[in-house]
Amino acid sequence: NAEAALACFDDQQWSLVVTDVRMPGIDGIELLALLKERSPGTPVLVMTGYADRDTVARAHDSGALAVVNKPLNLDDFIELVERLAEADVASLGMPRARGAAVRALATAAAADPHLFDPHGAVERLRKIPGIGDWTAQYIAMRAARDADAFPASDVGLQRALQSERGRPTARELSAKAEAWRPWRAYAALHLWAADQENS
């Protein structure tokens, strides 16, 4: 959910943010605007199943690097990342490391039409310079439709399972999530919703 994403954003710098328009709590475009206030140079890709002109205009006006329709058409997405790969990273108005990560993702997607196939997406994405585990898991969940992707380092997921002993670590959450295979992405969505209800 957006609140969990904002909490993660406060603690770390991200090379790329991929968000959905519709999610629990504030919507993805509101999240985009808040992220851009905190870090104007962070590139944000917005996914939506409701790509009406108003939604696309709002996303671009709020600073989205691109808007991608769902269900995700991989050919269109690859075309987008090919354009990003050819773009001058300096013109994107972001820190050099983030720009390099966006460019590396775009280059990898252009070179590998199977980059976003669900099976093995997390491992392929993690190999891209600048793409960490949380980003790889989130892209695999949202873009590659990997039903077993699980961003265990997500603060919102950890907060949803907080007990009197405190929040579980990413390692503890990963161990607990083993019982939820092969549907851990659905468990993550459930936990984000539960975290939203308790906030």
- Return d(Cα 115, Cα 188) in angstroms, integer: 22
Task: From residue 97, give the alpha-carbon distance in Å to each of 25, 51, 103, 131, 197.
Answer: 30, 30, 10, 11, 36
The pLDDT tens digits of the residues spanning 158-185 come to: 999 999 999 999 999 999 999 999 999 9
Catalytic residue among 20, 148, 154, 195: 154
**Helix or strand run (H / E) with residue 45:** strand 44-48
Is the peptide bond prior to 24 cis by the omega test (within 30 degrees of 0)?
no
Residue 20 is given by DSSP the state E
Q: Where are the domains of the chain?
A: 2-146
Topology adopted by domain 2-146? Rossmann fold (3.40.50)
pTM of the model: 0.57
Catalytic residue list contains 88: no
Q: 16: closest CA among 109, 83, 94, 118?
A: 94
pLDDT level of residue 85 (50, 70, 90 thresholds): low
